[in-house]
Chain A
Amino acid sequence: MEKELDKVVEEIMSTPNVNGCLVADHQGLCLASKGSAHVDSAGIIVAISEQACKIQPNLKPPTVCLETDNKICLIQRHGTITGAIFKQKGAA
């Protein structure tokens, strides 16, 4: 069952500038993680996506982007599943 998910995670990890990827369920339990994304942050990532959904609950879940000087964390919810991608800011 996890094979499909692992395939998607691998695909994401092979994209340029991506150094971590995490998938969690609606309870904040980690389903898959790879690279710099730590399993322990699954709960916080789901909490952030839930919090962002509260702004406009009647619209479809938004993409949350957290930026530091040289890294980006993208969080997107789809149904009960939340995905997070940790990226290095590219030169472009």
Chain B
Amino acid sequence: MEKIPDQLGYLILTEDGAVLESGGDLENDERVATIITDLISLSNSIDPVAFGPEEKFKKISITYDDHWFSICISNKKIYVVKRSIQTSSSEIAVNV
């Protein structure tokens, strides 16, 4: 996780939100861990019309002006990475 480019911090959580590993800005950040596990459980119940029951989210990103959080689940663990956004003053990156 430390080798991810532009990484500012990371968290590896169990499905119930317990911190397994952490580093950087997110070191032992249980507050963010709880918020993210709540966010994942909320996202599971989003629009059944737009997203069929078989369509589970595979990635969530939360984008701020100069950094973003990427959240994925793999092998029953939640991976969260905080990464910085490199922008020059003349362009604004839109993450779609």
Cβ of A65: which chain B residues have Cβ within 8 Å of it?
Answer: 59-63, 95-96
What is the bound-complex CA distance between A44 and B41, given in angstroms?
11
What is the bound-complex CA distance between A44 and B50, given in angstroms?
13
Cβ of B57: which chain A residues have Cβ within 8 Å of it?
Answer: 66-68
On whether the beta carbons of B63 and A69 are closer than 8 Å, the reply is no
Nearest neighbor of B50 in chain A, beta-carbon distance: A36
**Which label, helix, strand, loop or mixed, suits the secondary structure of the A interface?**
mixed
A51 at the interface (CB under 8 A from B): yes
Contact with B along A11-49 (1 / 0, CB 8 A): 000000001100000000000000011101100110110
Nearest neighbor of A56 in chain B, beta-carbon distance: B64
Residue total for B at the interface (Cβ-Cβ under 8 A)? 29
On whether the beta carbons of A64 and B59 are closer than 8 Å, the reply is no
Cβ of A63: which chain B residues have Cβ within 8 Å of it?
Answer: 62-63, 95
What is the bound-complex CA distance between A59 and B42, given in angstroms?
22
Which chain B residues (43-69) contact chain A, with CB distance < 8 Å?
43, 45-51, 55-65, 68-69
On whether the beta carbons of B47 and A68 are closer than 8 Å, the reply is no
Which chain A residues (45-88) contact chain B, with CB distance < 8 Å?
45, 47-48, 51-52, 54-56, 59-60, 62-69, 71-74, 86-87
Nearest neighbor of B60 in chain A, beta-carbon distance: A66
What is the bound-complex CA distance between A55 and B63, given in angstroms?
11
B2 at the interface (CB under 8 A from A): no
Contact for A51 among B35, B46, B64, B65, CB less than 8 A: B35
Chain A interface (Cβ < 8 Å from any Cβ of B): 19-20, 36-38, 40-41, 44-45, 47-48, 51-52, 54-56, 59-60, 62-69, 71-74, 86-87
